[in-house]
Amino acid sequence: MELAAISYDSVATLADFAMRRGISFPLLSDAGSNTIKRYGILNTTIDPKNELYGYPFPGTFIVDRQGIVTSRVFEPIYQERSTIASILVRLGRQIDAPATKVAGAHVELTSYATDQVATLGTHLSLVLDVRPAPKVHVYAPGASSYKPVRLALDAQPGLIVRSAQLPRPEDYFFKPLNEHVPVYQHPFRIVQDVMLDPSRDGSAALKDVTSITITGTFEYQACDDAVCFPPQGIPLSWSIGVKPLDRERAKPR
């Protein structure tokens, strides 16, 4: 998939930035903000007399080969930004990332983080692909009397646990008890969003930190059509490199 990033910086500023950061994909200069204005995404809350006037509401468009928008993400808080890999995973697309496989009782897990490096305010995702064993189902959120699946992350300073995305469950009818229960009985994916906390407390917690290890437990209860097994927990971890915010500026010309 092609990638391009547009800002109102000059070509010289973009050239300097691309060199410093080793960027090879196109950085496009919309000096004067004409494209930003035509797109209707100029940040109109900025006073035109402000020297920074002309920048957009930051956002990402994903378009098809005809240039039609298939999805878009605009962050309400500018200090926070979803990574492209996280956006793509949440849209159900495949990405390349080093994954770990774990075999548990009645399930197989494959897990990875969308990004190996993040900075303050980065929204990234932890992905957990769960494959129930043949003829086994696990319980979805909303199932009462059974332990539903849950990715429980351990709290730690500098880490914000955001929302989790789970697929729509199937309805399972268990005739002996005449009960309907929401379950997963085919491979399914949990996408758990997390963020490196950009607040003052988060910045303090992550100061001089070069990597964090996010730990948690996949909780579930598996049953087949005759027996329910006791609830289980599988420990998981992900290592994320932490890089400081880029505070460099282009060289004065």
> Which positions from 51 through 80 interact with another protein, judged by CB under 8 A?
52, 55-72, 74-80
For another protein, how many residues bind (rule: CB under 8 A)?
94
Nearer to another protein, 133 or 228 (CB): 228
Strands 222-223 and 159-165 come out as unpaired
Looking at 99-107, 111-119, 124-132, 218-226, which segment touches another protein (CB under 8 A)? 218-226
Q: How far apart are CA 52 and CA 68, in angstroms?
A: 30
- Contact assessment for residue 227 and residue 198, using Cβ atoms and an 8 Å cutoff: no
- Kindly state the smallest distance separating residue 165's Cβ from another protein, in Å: 11
Is 201 one of the binding residues for another protein (CB under 8 A)? yes
Nearer to another protein, 62 or 117 (CB): 62
Structure-token match 């468009």, residue found: 61
Instruction: Give Cβ neighbours of residue 68 (< 8 Å, ≥ 6 apart).
Output: none
Site for another protein in 82-111 (CB under 8 A): 84
Nearer to another protein, 92 or 101 (CB): 92
Contact residue for another protein among 107, 137, 150, 242 (CB under 8 A): 150
Contact residue for another protein among 97, 102, 133, 250 (CB under 8 A): 250
- Kindly state the smallest distance separating residue 101's Cβ from another protein, in Å: 25
Cα atoms in the 13 Å half-sphere on the side-chain side of 237 = 6
- 233-247 residues labelled b (16+ CB within 10 A) or e (exposed): ebebebebebeeeee
Q: How far apart are CA 229 and CA 220, in angstroms?
A: 10
Site for another protein in 220-239 (CB under 8 A): 221, 223, 226-231
